[in-house]
């Protein structure tokens, strides 16, 4: 059943906003009204998901709602910010009640984890596209930037790498295995868990950070470019999930795809030697899952070393829109 625009906004995207003194006015007027905190810096990010580009046509509306917000939260996590509000621009081919019910359920299930209010948006008709703009707050000068890595810094990632890429390859039938046998890989692809708590705990400890959205190699390269240095990563240290390891046993060459594929939404960050003890203590206190994967070096290249210290070829790097090979 088709839902008219006004009713659609009212029913699916208007929620009571609680315990948010900075939000003067949310959904319903010509614009939202915010009183930003004077003693915090405002952090803004925006990310769009396009059907068929950022998620397969078969993705459920619940997962689309979840993921559209998760990728934005992940950008705030990478800045070390606390999320404060978001807006939603939704382009829909049709306003189906069941689709909207499930989409908004996925969206608010994740938003509610952070008591994160939706304060406004726009609704239009067209090919399915979801844009979310998110705002966060960080104490002045404490945001985690891409620049800041220095030779000698230790490089870490949260969680495991490549699970979403593997799920995509299984869904596309590119591996002789069934995605049904690996539900945890599919969960990584469809319901990434943004590393907000980790990002904020890394303030004052990490020298730089980025979220891994385009693949470890590509995103670590952004840190290196911004910081004017290079890195050595250790093949043996790369954190892969048990499901990924099972597949790697059968298809050992796949490890390259796991560090060049996208959609991990983990954090990659660097820590100076004098802050390592602090990091370890913090990770233990909060039970965070961080793995050291390499070191920053002065020579401006990114190399991967095997267990014997020999450089290994890592092949292609990450996903790029408008790259020649995509056209």
CA distance 214 to 112: 27
CA distance 290 to 253: 24
Does the CA dihedral 125-319-221-188 come out positive or negative? positive
* CB of 30 vs Mg ion, minimal distance in Å: 8
Instruction: Rank residues 13 and 62 by Cβ distance to ligand ADP and give the closer one.
Output: 13
* CB of 122 vs Mg ion, minimal distance in Å: 4
Q: Work out what residue 291 binds among Mg ion, ligand ADP, none; the CB cut-off runs from 5 to 8 Å by kind.
A: none
Q: Which residues bind ligand ADP (CB under 6 A)?
A: 9, 13, 27-30, 88, 90, 118, 120-123
Binding positions for Mg ion, 112-141, rule CB under 5 A = 122
Give the orientation angle of helix 97-113 with respect to helix 5-13, to 10 degrees: 30
Instruction: Rank residues 87 and 207 by Cβ distance to Mg ion and give the closer one.
Output: 87
* CB of 10 vs ligand ADP, minimal distance in Å: 9
The closest of 95, 165, 152, 86 to 124, measured between CA atoms, is 95
The secondary structure element, H or E, covering residue 73 is helix 61-79
* CB of 124 vs ligand ADP, minimal distance in Å: 9
Number of residues that bind Mg ion (CB under 5 A): 1
CA distance 144 to 122: 31
- Residue 5 engages Mg ion in binding (rule: CB under 5 A): no
Query: What φ, ψ does residue 185 adopt, rounded to 5°?
Result: -70, -40
CA distance 241 to 160: 6
Cβ neighbors of 5 (< 8 A, separation 6 or more) are 95, 123
Instruction: Rank residues 31 and 180 by Cβ distance to Mg ion and give the closer one.
Output: 31
Q: What is the largest CA-CA distance in the chain?
A: 64
Instruction: Rank residues 40 and 96 by Cβ distance to ligand ADP and give the closer one.
Output: 96
Asked if 57 and 146 touch (Cβ cutoff 8 Å), the reply is: no
Q: Work out what residue 287 binds among ligand ADP, Mg ion, none; the CB cut-off runs from 5 to 8 Å by kind.
A: none
Instruction: Rank residues 122 and 306 by Cβ distance to Mg ion and give the closer one.
Output: 122
Instruction: Rank residues 55 and 85 by Cβ distance to ligand ADP and give the closer one.
Output: 85
Q: Work out what residue 90 binds among Mg ion, ligand ADP, none; the CB cut-off runs from 5 to 8 Å by kind.
A: ligand ADP
* CB of 245 vs ligand ADP, minimal distance in Å: 41
Residues contributing to the site for Mg ion (CB under 5 A): 122
């Amino acid at each position: 059943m088709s839902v008219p625009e006004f009713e659609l906004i009212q029913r699916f995207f208007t929620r009571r906003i609680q315990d948010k003194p900075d939000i003067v006015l949310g959904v319903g007027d010509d614009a939202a009204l915010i009183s930003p905190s004077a003693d915090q810096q405002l952090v803004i990010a925006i990310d769009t998901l396009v059907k068929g580009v950022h998620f397969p046509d078969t993705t459920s509306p619940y997962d689309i709602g979840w993921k559209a917000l998760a990728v934005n939260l992940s950008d705030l996590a990478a800045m070390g910010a606390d999320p404060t509000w978001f807006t939603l621009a939704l382009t829909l081919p049709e306003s189906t009640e069941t689709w909207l019910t499930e989409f908004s359920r996925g969206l608010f299930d994740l938003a509610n984890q952070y008591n994160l209010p939706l304060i406004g948006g726009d609704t239009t008709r067209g090919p399915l596209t979801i844009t979310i703009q998110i705002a966060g707050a960080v104490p002045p000068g404490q945001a985690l930037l891409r620049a800041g890595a220095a030779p000698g810094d230790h490089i870490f990632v949260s969680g495991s790498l490549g699970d979403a890429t593997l799920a995509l390859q299984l869904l596309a039938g590119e591996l002789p295995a069934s995605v049904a046998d690996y539900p945890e890989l599919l969960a990584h692809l469809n319901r990434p868990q943004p590393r907000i708590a980790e990002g904020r705990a890394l303030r004052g400890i990490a020298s730089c950070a980025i979220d891994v959205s385009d693949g470890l190699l590509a995103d670590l390269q952004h840190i290196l470019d911004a910081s004017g240095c290079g890195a050595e990563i250790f093949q043996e240290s790369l954190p892969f999930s048990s499901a990924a390891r099972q597949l790697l046993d059968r298809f050992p060459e796949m490890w390259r795809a796991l560090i060049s594929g996208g959609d991990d939404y983990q954090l990659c960050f660097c820590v100076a030697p004098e802050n390592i003890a602090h990091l370890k203590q913090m990770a233990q206190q909060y039970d965070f899952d961080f793995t050291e994967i390499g070191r920053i070096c002065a020579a401006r290249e990114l190399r991967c070393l095997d267990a014997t210290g020999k450089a290994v070829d890592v092949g292609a790097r990450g996903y790029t829109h408008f790259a020649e090979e995509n056209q």
